[in-house]
Structure 1
Amino acid sequence: MEAAQRFILRATYIERGRLAMLSHLEVARTIERTIRRAGLPYAVSQGFSPHMKVAFGAALPVGVGSVCEIFDVQLTDYVAPEKALEALRASCPPDLMVQSCAYIRPGEKAASVAFPISTYEAVLSRPVARIEVPESISVVRKRKEKVLVVADFLVSGFSPVGEGGPGSACPQKSDRWEFSLEAKPSGSLRPDALLRACLDRMNEGASPVEDPLRIVSVTRIGQRSA
């Protein structure tokens, strides 16, 4: 068992297209089937209900895509990372394609807690000059309403992507914006919930002749430690 614990393979994968509509549990089950089909020598837990020893990064809200999802799987034998990558890529659907594999050192934090800060890119239905962020938003969890202070989770403000970005002499309107959120032990703020609150605020003060702002897509483009 001690030898098996040293072989922790960390893989990154994308989540896009129709598969971005899967729940976190459905994605986890699909990845587990991919690992089995790839023939990797995965470790199994002991006890009454044995299961594959695999851990996932922070869950994505349904409908939010990603180019940088992570899972860790414990192996009972060493498999060269390039061989593991080849086997996984041959076994997974294109919209959940594995991008890279590497072993992590003993004692490194698990994927579920290693990267609490996520960066997202949002595409809006039309360009805007800025994003108006409310001080707080109300969310409903387990049928209970809770007020979240945005500043507790928003690591960086909204920045336009491309021309007119930070440092530009002549900022322009943009329909693509980046922002980062930090997941806390006490909870997290969903990127799509924050965006909806921002757009609702902006639509309230918009001209009647303007089309209401809508979210076209939200994609996680980076994960990092605090």
Structure 2
Amino acid sequence: MNAPQRFVLRAHYVEQGRLAMLSHLEVARTLERTIRRAGLPFAVSQGFSPHMKIAFGAALPVGVGSTCETFDVQLTRYVPADEALCALQRASVPDLMVTSCAYLDPGAKAASVAFPLSTYEVRLSHAVPRLTAPAQVKVVRKRKERVLEVADFLVGDVRPVDRRGDGGHEVWRFTLRAREQGSLRPDVLLAAMLDQACADGEGAAGELQVVSTTRVAQAAAE
């Protein structure tokens, strides 16, 4: 007997404005309601606690926006991707808007592991001539302190996006790799880089601040 065909729809969406302040769980619940309002025939798990068969990409820290978030939802029947997109967009709000849809090929990686590389763009309160990543950062998780080697996560250099005639830059970009043993949060790295910039004389402590941080690209491992 042949296995039933699976229809897994991958959707990309933005998370911006005030909705960037939502937690990952709040975003997940909101998108589940969006799918319900869109009228898509979503599949439901079996067991004592049935739930929508949906998977999300890597979680964003609260306060970090994105132009390239992802979720996969399994449907019980085929719905043309363009029709699904229109239905989702009608049910979405502008700051959590679905931007594209496509069906996954059999064997494709789930959204949670498909894109280990994340590129972030950060806007600072004022321009600085350089922004340098430290060799190590300390993180505290579940009351335990760990020291992370930045080189294990940072891909390439921290680089400026806009260039000014005076040599200063207020928008910077960097790429982080998620690893099986863990990840380095962009806000943690940014805090360490701002501390380093102040120590280098690029601004007084507390004067140089992050205005916004946005995930602008996700990619598979090279």
Task: Give the TM-score range, shorter chain.
Answer: over 0.9
Deviations 1:36-87 (A, max 9, x none): 0000000011111111000000000000000000000000000011100000
Aligned to 1:179: 174
1:4–1:74: 8 Å Cα contact kept in structure 2? Answer: no
> 1:208/1:130 Cα in 2 relative to 1: closer, same or farther (>3 Å)?
closer
Number of equivalences: 220
Partner amino acid for 2:201?
A: A
Say what the alpha-carbon RMSD is for the aligned residues.
Answer: 1.8
Shift of 1:208: 7.2
Deviations 1:146-172 (A, max 9, x none): 1111000001211110336xxxxx893
> 1:147/1:210 Cα in 2 relative to 1: closer, same or farther (>3 Å)?
closer
Q: Aligned to 1:3, what secondary structure does the other structure show?
A: coil
Partner amino acid for 1:178?
A: R
Q: Distance in 2 between matches of 1:45 and 1:207?
A: 54
List alignment gaps of at least 5 residues for structure 2.
none
1:9–1:73: 8 Å Cα contact kept in structure 2? Answer: yes
**Comparing 69-78 and 200-209, the one that deviates more:** 200-209
Partner amino acid for 1:140?
A: V
Aligned to 1:3: 4
Shift of 1:128: 1.1
> Percent same amino acid among aligned pairs?
61
Q: Does 1:118 align with 2:113?
A: no
Partner amino acid for 1:206?
A: G
1:4–1:43: 8 Å Cα contact kept in structure 2? Answer: no
Q: Structure 2 matches for 1:2-21, cutoff 5 A?
A: 2-5=3-6, 7-21=7-21
Deviations 1:13-55 (A, max 9, x none): 0000111011101100000000000000000111111110000
Q: Distance in 2 between matches of 1:75 and 1:143?
A: 41
2:161–2:171: 8 Å Cα contact kept in structure 1? Answer: yes
TM-score, normalising length from structure 2?
0.94
Q: Does 1:216 align with 2:211?
A: yes
Partner amino acid for 1:219?
A: T
